[in-house]
Amino acid sequence: MRNRELGKGGIKVSAIGLGCWGMSGSYGPADEAESEATLHRALDVGVTLIDTADSYGEGHNESLIGRVLSPRRAEFVLATKTGWVKRPGPGGSEAVGVDGRPERIRSACEASLARLRAEVIDLYYLHRVDPEVPVEESIGAMAGLVAEGKVRAIGLSEVSEATLRRAHDVHPISALQSEYSLWTREPEASVMPACRELGIAFVPFSPLGRGFLTGAVTGRSQIQPGDWRANNPRFTEENLARNLALLETLDSIARPRGATPAQVALAWVLSRGPQLIPIPGMKRRSHLDENLEAADLDLSPDELSLLDAAFPPGAAAGDRYTPDVARWAGR
């Protein structure tokens, strides 16, 4: 596995990391035994970036990683995130919100360390920026955790270029995590150039379009109960039907190479620059082994041009998020 660098701090990781959200039921029922085997398999084959968050399964994901991988802690770079919270909603329901208060960040870090069975978090992200708290205050609290030796590097997720620069002025930002793939190319306009300028790694989550670019989701019947995509605008019946045409170019490139659409889609992401470190969500060993082969798949200039033309910015039908989640992105 080739390595890439997380910003300017000297932390090197595998070119493809492991996103663990799916191991906590976000894409249908979780399989604890398979998740454990996948985590071990990832380290065995050279994956050295493990990505989680305190909100994944409301702590379940961090606890899983802590229980399974703490004996192998020296073998990987541990990234986790904080900021998402659930608050009381109308009629006794729960509403999604964010909390970037310094005191909450400090207490959340302590809780994550306990669940992860770790003494230090290698990369600690602010999962979303709190509109009620200046980002300088949130990053200041995270910088304090670095000074205390509880965190090695700081990251941000789904922020605007302006916010990224404000945060970087307070403390060096090592990584920006945002959704980026063939069907989500908006970061190319501003935040990716800013990352290149400032020496910040860009960490694409959902580089396979939440599974769509693999060709595995061609209709609503393939979305299981409890799957996060059931309520996502891009996976409505109408939008799925419109988006299916996008897969034709992927297939036309993958077939002659003996590759899969997922491998071609990941290879395209990797081709966008050495500062990109995608973290596809993988909860099965079979998906892990398939996706990691993309690191050795070098697409030709003609193939890259075909993909760029087939997937221009804005090509996907449907918004990335429902309005209640979208309002927290890009601040």
Catalytic residues: 56
Question: Minimal CA–CA distance to 142: which of 104, 176, 178, 114?
Answer: 104
For residue 39, the SS3 value is helix
Question: Minimal CA–CA distance to 233: which of 210, 265, 267?
Answer: 210
The one-letter amino acid code at 168 reads H
Burial per residue of 166-200, b for 16 or more beta-carbon CB atoms within 10 angstroms, e otherwise: bbbebbbbbbbbbbbbbbbbebeeebbebbeeeeb
What's the residue count for the chain?
331
Beta strands in the chain (DSSP E): 3-6, 11-14, 18-19, 49-51, 77-82, 84-88, 94-98, 121-126, 151-157, 173-179, 201-205
Alpha carbon of residue 45 to chain centroid: 20
d(CA 323, CA 13) in angstroms, rounded, equals 34
Q: Provide the CB-side half-sphere exposure for 103 (13 A, CA).
A: 0
The residue whose two tokens read 């702590």 is 59
